[in-house]
Amino acid sequence: MTFYEAVGGHDTFVRLVDAFYRGVAADPVLKPMYPEEDLGPAKDRLTLFLEQYWGGPTTYSERRGHPRLRMRHMPFHVNPDARDRWLAHMRAAVDELGLAPLHEETLWDYLQRAAHAMVNTFEPTPGVAEGPRAEA
């Protein structure tokens, strides 16, 4: 059984991504990083990516090719503040899932490593005060 199947498959990843983007939608640093006015396309991409990564359908690669996460994030100002905001919203989303402890730890470990790997600048975000952010 894959991790994808063990945690509940498609429905679990949709719930995770929906909860995550509720936080992103109100975040003054992260929301501007999404080119579409509606976060729907970004939700779809993240859901498909996570499903594929964890052993679900390979729809992401079929539609978009290799994930190339660092390359896809290079146009955006991903500094430690943006990373921490991303992680705060994702932490709240993971907590909403109520996964078994081992599954939660496995998922969270990956998400933390991925977020740290996306940092591409240490310059502050122009015009935004940095500091703690997500209201959980």
- Per-residue pLDDT of 11-70, as tens digits, reads 999 999 999 999 999 999 999 888 777 788 889 999 999 999 999 999 888 777 665 554
The better pLDDT of the pair 53, 127 is held by 53
- Structure-token pair, residue 135: 């209201």
Q: Are 87 and 119 in contact (CB under 8 A)?
A: no
- Structure-token pair, residue 119: 């940092």
Enter the pTM of the model.
0.83
How far is residue 52's CA from residue 65's CA, in Å, rounded to a whole number? 12
Inter-axis angle of helices 10-25 and 80-97, to 10 degrees?
A: 130
pLDDT digits (tens, 9 = 90+) for 60-87: 887 776 655 545 555 566 899 999 999 9
How far is residue 97's CA from residue 100's CA, in Å, rounded to a whole number? 9
Question: What sign does the CA torsion over 119, 97, 15, 39 have?
Answer: negative
